[in-house]
Amino acid sequence: MAFREYKIGARLFGVALGGSMIITLYMPTVDMTSVTVTETGLKKQLSYGRIGGFSYEDPFLQGEGKPKTVVLNKDPSSNAPMETVEAFVYEAGIPFPSGINHPRTLGPGATELSVQKGRVEEADHNSGAVFVISRGTHNGETVNYIENATVTRGWQPSQVLNAGGDANTQYIGSGKIMFVREGCWWCHTLLPEQTQDWQYFGIPPRLGDFNGESPTAFGSDRKAPDLLHVGSRNSSKEWMMMHFFNPRLVQPHSIMPRYDYLWGEQDADGKAIDFDAWRAAYNDYKAGKVVYPPDVPSYAADSEIRYLMDFILSLK
């Protein structure tokens, strides 16, 4: 009898822990599975991959283990011209997002179509797969679903990457990792609200935009413009490059930090980037000694700034 009160306490603790687990883990899942994923939601999970933050395949947030998004205007196996399609390429070993592993999370209609017509359950992450977003009807309504193009169209990951080439390939998933790692969300939100925000930042997201996204990057306290649709109001790569290298090049009073280190050591031609020389030239410009600021170095195809740029410009 001596330890009776501990037993009661232990049971109460179990009830409290179990209850909070059900509330935080299980109930949101039930909620999400009752919502049909939108086209935006599918595009996000297919282009971001399994996790858009810390994960075992990418513990140091370097953008590894992520899919690539390829814009195709000809069929990669027959070379026949076709309407532009975005293909999400998972090379061998790249983990699939939750909509492929657990189609139930795609919500009513999208689950059934993805499994029956899209054949997502036949995809195997050990050998890789290519997915596209397709449209079908379910109970008379148009529904977007995931199609496993490796099974339905015979598209192999390497074939799609070759057909698209580097110019049509985007590292959106790796770029989201940069966004999370660099803390862009300390200042920026990805959540226009239902207020006058509409007028400048564009429409707020819908619930179905978030099926399968983990983690979301809403941000918290907005100190800078919302970025959910930034690629629609400014799609200039040149402006973005100058702004990321040193925001003061385009916005003299900007409080945004420089992200020049995301360029890495070498520029697009493999030449070492001399940051000291660049800053010296920039200081001369700021002091009014020269009329123009120095040119921003072009970035290498596999640089971290390329990832981030592909992500930011995908926010349409």
Which positions lie near ligand HEC, rule CB under 6 A? Answer: 179, 182-184, 186-188, 223-225, 227, 230, 234, 247, 251, 254-257, 259, 308, 312
CB of 249 to ligand HEC, least distance (A): 10
Helix (H) or strand (E) holding 133: strand 129-138
Decide whether 13 or 200 has the Cβ nearer to ligand HEC.
200
Decide whether 154 or 257 has the Cβ nearer to ligand HEC.
257
Largest separation between any pair of C-alpha atoms in the chain? 87
CB of 215 to ligand HEC, least distance (A): 16
- Three-state SS at 87: strand
CB of 202 to ligand HEC, least distance (A): 11
Decide whether 207 or 224 has the Cβ nearer to ligand HEC.
224
Residue pair 33/105 in contact (Cβ under 8 Å)? The answer is: yes
Decide whether 151 or 180 has the Cβ nearer to ligand HEC.
180
Decide whether 143 or 300 has the Cβ nearer to ligand HEC.
300
Decide whether 18 or 183 has the Cβ nearer to ligand HEC.
183
Token digits of residue 310: 């592909």
CB of 256 to ligand HEC, least distance (A): 4
What is the CA angle 298-247-201, rounded to 5? 105
Decide whether 68 or 188 has the Cβ nearer to ligand HEC.
188
Token digits of residue 241: 């490059």
CB of 34 to ligand HEC, least distance (A): 33
Please tell me the distance from the alpha carbon of residue 123 to that of residue 93, in angstroms, as a whole number. 12
Residue pair 123/100 in contact (Cβ under 8 Å)? The answer is: yes
Identify the residue whose tokens are 């395949």.
57
CB of 254 to ligand HEC, least distance (A): 3
Pairing, β 169-170 against β 129-138: unpaired
Torsion of Cα atoms, 282 then 286 then 291 then 296, to 10°: 30
Q: Who contacts 301 (Cβ-Cβ below 8 Å, separation ≥6)?
A: 166, 268
CB of 58 to ligand HEC, least distance (A): 17
Helix (H) or strand (E) holding 81: strand 81-90
Q: Tell how far CA 293 is from the center of its chain.
A: 32
